């Protein structure tokens, strides 16, 4: 009974989405307020019904309703309740429903938080969101209905959730990731609306900016969680595999990062509009492309969904329609007139433009790397692999260039920056970074050019960011007053850039100074890694809720003192019969100790991989900083218009041009 109800609410939400896609837009074009007034109620209604459908599916999982095919394929009565809950998005259909729930959620959010926007704009934006929703609701109803029943042959029990996904990481990773993916639909909708009504101006940039930033922040968290999950769950201590599915999430992130910065220029200076609007479209297009790549089975990946050609074709059709129509609209409507603005060659505009060049180049690099095998195969060129070593040689230089540019650009001024002044301003940060890097290199004990460049860049970004904060916060009323005077969006930027420095530092150090050994060990034996002794003290067996695990106990000591005791496991899951490696990890701010139990070799010996991973936590911590910076930035007063109109002037460093726009809106 319930599943049918779920399907029914999905159909209802499709109905509402269709209305949302048409009615407010017609109202906006014909200028009929009565039609535009439907936008918000329709958005709310769509959300309520999608949420109901989601609740029904969740209910089916929690009560083990194996008559629902999707539940039977992705759950089992032995599964702990929290995994039953997260299993809702453990497979294709459910995760698509989650995707749609997020889309409906974002639509509702736009409806709620856009009270101060012109009605026409709101109607158009919500209509575009409605169109995207129609596409995905059709997709789920036609090809991937999560409520399909297995009647009358109801299985006694379910086929279980893939053991890889029975993990805390999976509970949180997809929702965060989808929040990011789908969140870019708002920036997309704003771009389309602006193209339709020709109001592609600084006001548009100001409205899209917080939405873009918050979506980007969610995506950053999502990617970091995915990387963290792969690190401890896939078993071998890697944190980024340049797998097509990972690339699919990195592509919109890179484009979104470029978009955030380009929106800043468009908001403050009213320029680069055509470029910014293109980026907004491309960012969402890449989110859709990622969804397609993961679900269509065109690429080989560790974590792709089971593929189905019908779904692939439908999704591609949807993708093609969305992207081609929006890019065509762009081609006809984007402004080509040069704005008559002067740029000093060292102005902030130019620095941000260069940042965009590099970010978009790195995005193209990943895009080409991901799709090249497919294109080559299509041209009859045979099969090809593109993986980590390729990206290491090509992506790293661009990342370093982005960092070096950032450190200089942070001091630059809008319109014009004096070259001599900038040079003098950079002198100290550069000197400090070099000294710090030299000390770190000496401490780490091995010099390689890449390690040097990476550490230098990370330090440079951090030092420059802090130096700028120091400059800006100098005040006659004392440092504290100066610090308090800075806006939240400025602190957001500082945090974001510090986060980037942390991530870069972590990535560089762990890749260059991580140590690992593959050893053959029997219980009682000891292996050494530097001055750490890993003693394999015993093997045991334990019962999990739905698995049996063999575990090893490893005591790690330094100079006879116990540092950590780790219990790496090999789990055999009862239903799907597959064996999973569960690594033993001692996490720390400066280093992780990592032990993974490999194959059994010989009677009592095991292949054991022991690893020392310096600064690996910084990778994810840095990403969290970046995301937190984003959240902080959108909490800035200047986005909360009510306070502004009360006459409060925010202490925003770049407020000059923006305020004029604000008055207009």
Partner 1 sequence: MHRVLMLFVLLVMPVAATAVSEVYPFDSSADQERFRTLMSELRCPKCQNQNIFDSNAPIAKDMRDEVYRMLQDGATDQEVKNALVSRFGEFVLYKPEFSQRTVLLWVTPLIAVLGGVLIVIGVILRSRQREDDTAPLSEEERRKAERILSGDDNSPR
Partner 2 sequence: MRRVLLFIPVALAVALGIVLFAGIGKDPNRLESALIGKPVPAFELADLQNPDAVHHDNVFKGQVSLLNVWGTWCPACRDEHGDLVRLANVEGVRIIGLNYKDNRDAALQWLDRLGNPYALSLFDPQGKLGFDLGVYGAPETYVIDAEGIVRYRHVGVVNERVWLDVLQPLLQQYGGQG
Provide the binding-site residues for partner 2, judged by CB under 8 A.
Answer: 274, 278, 281-282, 285, 292, 296-300, 309, 312-313, 316, 319-320, 323-324, 327-328, 330-332, 334, 336, 371, 374-375, 377-378, 382-383
Q: Which of 77, 300, 448, 475 binds partner 1 (CB under 8 A)?
A: 300
Q: Give the separation between CA 606 and CA 552, rounded to whole angstroms.
A: 10
How many alpha carbons fall within 13 Å on the CB side of residue 331? 6
Residues 605-624 that bind partner 1 (CB under 8 A): 607, 612, 614
Angle, alpha carbons 105-634-617 (nearest 5°)? 90
CB of 445 to partner 1, least distance (A): 4
Judged by CB, which is closer to partner 2: 102, or 285? 285
Q: x/- string (CB under 8 A) for partner 1, residues 98-137? A: ----------------------------------------
- Partner whose binding site includes residue 601, from partner 1, partner 2, none (CB under 5 to 8 Å by kind): partner 1
- Partner whose binding site includes residue 312, from partner 1, partner 2, none (CB under 5 to 8 Å by kind): partner 2
CB of 286 to partner 2, least distance (A): 11
Q: Which of 152, 420, 449, 530 binds partner 1 (CB under 8 A)?
A: 530
User: Which residues fall within 8 angstroms of residue 530, CB to CB, at 6 or more apart?
Assistant: 515, 612
Number of residues that bind partner 1 (CB under 8 A): 97
505 binds partner 1 (CB under 8 A): no
Question: E strands of 390-546, at which residues?
Answer: 515-521, 526-529, 532-543
User: Which residues fall within 8 angstroms of residue 661, CB to CB, at 6 or more apart?
Assistant: 201, 202, 203, 206, 267
Judged by CB, which is closer to partner 2: 350, or 374? 374
Residues 585-604 that bind partner 1 (CB under 8 A): 590-591, 598-599, 601
**Taking contact as CB under 8 A, which single stretch among the options 16-24, 237-245, 288-296, 405-413 is the one that binds partner 1?**
237-245
Residues 380-419 that bind partner 1 (CB under 8 A): 381-390, 393-394, 398
- Partner whose binding site includes residue 591, from partner 2, partner 1, none (CB under 5 to 8 Å by kind): partner 1
Q: Give the separation between CA 233 and CA 238, rounded to whole angstroms.
A: 10
CB of 506 to partner 1, least distance (A): 14
199 binds partner 1 (CB under 8 A): yes
360 binds partner 1 (CB under 8 A): yes
Judged by CB, which is closer to partner 1: 120, or 171? 120
Judged by CB, which is closer to partner 2: 307, or 473? 307
**Cα-Cα-Cα-Cα dihedral sign, residues 142, 148, 151, 156:** positive
- Partner whose binding site includes residue 530, from partner 1, partner 2, none (CB under 5 to 8 Å by kind): partner 1
DSSP lists the bridge partners of residue 535 as: 526, 555
Residues 243-272 that bind partner 1 (CB under 8 A): 243-244, 266-270
Q: How many helices (H) and strands (E) does the chain have?
A: 21, 10
Q: Give the separation between CA 647 and CA 657, rounded to whole angstroms.
A: 17
In angstroms and rounded to an integer, the radius of gyration of the C-alpha atoms of the chain is 27
310 touches 143 (CB < 8 A): yes
CB of 411 to partner 1, least distance (A): 18
Q: x/- string (CB under 8 A) for partner 1, residues 457-496? A: ----------------------------------------
**Cα-Cα-Cα-Cα dihedral sign, residues 481, 484, 485, 491:** positive
- Partner whose binding site includes residue 362, from partner 1, partner 2, none (CB under 5 to 8 Å by kind): partner 1
- Partner whose binding site includes residue 390, from partner 1, partner 2, none (CB under 5 to 8 Å by kind): partner 1
Q: Hey, how many other C-beta atoms are within 10 angstroms of the C-beta on 471?
A: 12
How many alpha carbons fall within 13 Å on the CB side of residue 363? 24
Q: Give the separation between CA 218 and CA 207, rounded to whole angstroms.
A: 18
- Partner whose binding site includes residue 243, from partner 2, partner 1, none (CB under 5 to 8 Å by kind): partner 1
372 binds partner 1 (CB under 8 A): yes
Q: Give the separation between CA 591 and CA 606, rounded to whole angstroms.
A: 25
Distance (Å) of CA 357 to CA 163, 360, 368, 391 = 42, 5, 16, 18
Judged by CB, which is closer to partner 1: 364, or 651? 364
- Partner whose binding site includes residue 560, from partner 2, partner 1, none (CB under 5 to 8 Å by kind): none
Distance (Å) of CA 314 to CA 43, 140, 311, 321, 455 = 25, 10, 5, 11, 46
- Partner whose binding site includes residue 199, from partner 2, partner 1, none (CB under 5 to 8 Å by kind): partner 1
Judged by CB, which is closer to partner 1: 211, or 606? 606
CB of 82 to partner 1, least distance (A): 27
349 touches 414 (CB < 8 A): yes
User: Which residues fall within 8 angstroms of residue 115, CB to CB, at 6 or more apart?
Assistant: none
CB of 237 to partner 1, least distance (A): 9
Q: Which of 310, 339, 475, 645 binds partner 1 (CB under 8 A)?
A: 339
Q: Give the separation between CA 354 and CA 229, rounded to whole angstroms.
A: 33
Q: Give the separation between CA 232 and CA 596, rounded to whole angstroms.
A: 10
Closest to 428 in 3D by CA, of 475, 464, 378: 464
Q: Which of 148, 525, 555, 586 binds partner 1 (CB under 8 A)?
A: 525
CB of 94 to partner 1, least distance (A): 22
142 binds partner 1 (CB under 8 A): no
Please state at what angle helix 488-513 crosses helix 388-409, rounded to 10 degrees.
140
- Partner whose binding site includes residue 360, from partner 1, partner 2, none (CB under 5 to 8 Å by kind): partner 1
79 touches 573 (CB < 8 A): no
CB of 285 to partner 2, least distance (A): 7
CB of 378 to partner 2, least distance (A): 5
Residue 561 phi/psi, 5° resolution?
A: -100, 135
Please state at what angle helix 655-664 crosses helix 244-269, rounded to 10 degrees.
80
Please state at what angle helix 202-233 crosses helix 273-296, rounded to 10 degrees.
30
Q: Which of 193, 358, 502, 575 binds partner 1 (CB under 8 A)?
A: 358
Q: x/- string (CB under 8 A) for partner 1, residues 152-191? A: ----------------------------------------
Judged by CB, which is closer to partner 1: 112, or 649? 649
- Partner whose binding site includes residue 364, from partner 2, partner 1, none (CB under 5 to 8 Å by kind): partner 1
């Amino acid at each position: 009974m319930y599943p049918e109800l779920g399907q029914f609410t999905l159909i209802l939400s499709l109905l509402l989405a269709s209305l949302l896609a048409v009615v407010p837009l017609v109202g906006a074009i014909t200028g009929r307020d009565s039609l535009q007034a439907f936008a918000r109620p329709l958005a709310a209604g769509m959300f309520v019904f999608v949420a109901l459908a989601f609740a029904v599916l969740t209910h089916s999982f929690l009560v083990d309703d194996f008559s629902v095919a999707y539940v039977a394929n992705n759950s089992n009565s032995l599964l702990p309740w929290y995994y039953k809950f997260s299993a809702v998005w453990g497979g294709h259909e459910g995760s698509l429903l989650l995707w749609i729930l997020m889309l409906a959620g974002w639509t509702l959010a736009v409806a709620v938080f856009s009270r101060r926007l012109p009605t026409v704009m709101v109607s158009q934006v919500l209509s575009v969101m409605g169109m995207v929703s129609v596409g995905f609701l059709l997709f789920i109803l036609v090809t991937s209905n999560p409520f399909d029943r297995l009647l009358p042959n109801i299985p006694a029990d379910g086929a279980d959730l893939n053991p890889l996904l029975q993990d805390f990481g999976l509970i949180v990773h997809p929702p965060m990731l989808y929040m990011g993916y789908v969140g870019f639909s708002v920036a997309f909708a704003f771009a389309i609306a602006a193209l339709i009504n020709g109001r592609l101006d600084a006001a548009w940039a100001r409205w899209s900016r917080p939405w873009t930033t918050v979506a980007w922040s969610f995506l950053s968290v999502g990617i970091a969680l995915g990387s963290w999950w792969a690190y401890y769950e896939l078993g071998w201590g890697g944190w980024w595999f340049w797998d097509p599915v990972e690339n699919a999430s990195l592509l919109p992130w890179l484009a979104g990062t470029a978009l955030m910065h380009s929106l800043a220029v468009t908001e403050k200076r009213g320029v680069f509009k055509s470029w910014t609007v293109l980026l907004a479209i491309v960012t969402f297009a890449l989110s859709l492309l990622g969804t397609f790549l993961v679900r269509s089975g065109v690429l080989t990946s560790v974590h792709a969904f089971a593929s189905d050609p019908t779904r692939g074709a439908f999704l591609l059709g949807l993708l093609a329609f969305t992207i081609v129509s929006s890019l065509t609209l762009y081609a006809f409507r984007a402004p080509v007139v040069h704005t008559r603005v002067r740029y000093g060659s060292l102005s902030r505009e130019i620095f941000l433009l260069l940042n965009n060049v590099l970010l978009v180049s790195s995005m193209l690099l990943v895009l080409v790397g991901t799709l090249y095998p497919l294109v080559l195969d299509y041209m009859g060129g045979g099969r090809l692999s593109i993986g980590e070593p390729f990206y290491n040689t090509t992506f790293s230089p661009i990342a370093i260039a982005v960092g070096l540019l950032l450190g200089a650009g942070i001091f630059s001024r809008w319109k014009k920056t004096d070259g001599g002044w900038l040079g003098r301003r950079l002198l100290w940060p550069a000197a400090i970074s070099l000294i710090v890097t030299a000390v770190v290199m000496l401490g780490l004990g091995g010099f390689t050019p890449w390690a040097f460049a990476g550490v230098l860049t990370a330090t440079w970004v951090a030092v420059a960011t802090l130096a700028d904060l120091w400059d800006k916060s100098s005040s006659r009323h004392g440092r504290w007053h100066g610090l308090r005077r800075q806006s939240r969006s400025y602190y957001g930027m500082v945090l974001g850039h510090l986060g980037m420095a942390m991530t870069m530092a972590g990535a560089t150090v762990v890749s260059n100074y991580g140590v690992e050994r593959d050893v053959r060990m029997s219980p009682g034996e000891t292996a050494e890694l530097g001055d750490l002794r890993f003693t394999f003290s015993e093997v045991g067996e334990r019962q999990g809720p739905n698995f049996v695990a063999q575990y090893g106990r490893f005591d790690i000591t330094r100079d006879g003192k116990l540092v950590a005791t780790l219990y790496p496991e090999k789990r055999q899951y009862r239903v799907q019969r597959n064996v999973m490696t569960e690594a033993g990890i001692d996490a720390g701010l400066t280093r992780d100790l990592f032990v993974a139990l490999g194959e059994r070799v010989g009677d009592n010996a095991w292949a054991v991989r022991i690893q020392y991973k310096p600064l690996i936590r910084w990778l994810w911590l840095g990403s969290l900083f970046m995301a937190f910076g984003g959240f902080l930035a959108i909490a800035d007063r200047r986005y909360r218009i009510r306070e502004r109109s009360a006459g409060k002037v925010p202490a925003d460093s770049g407020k000059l041009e923006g305020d004029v726009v604000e008055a207009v809106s």
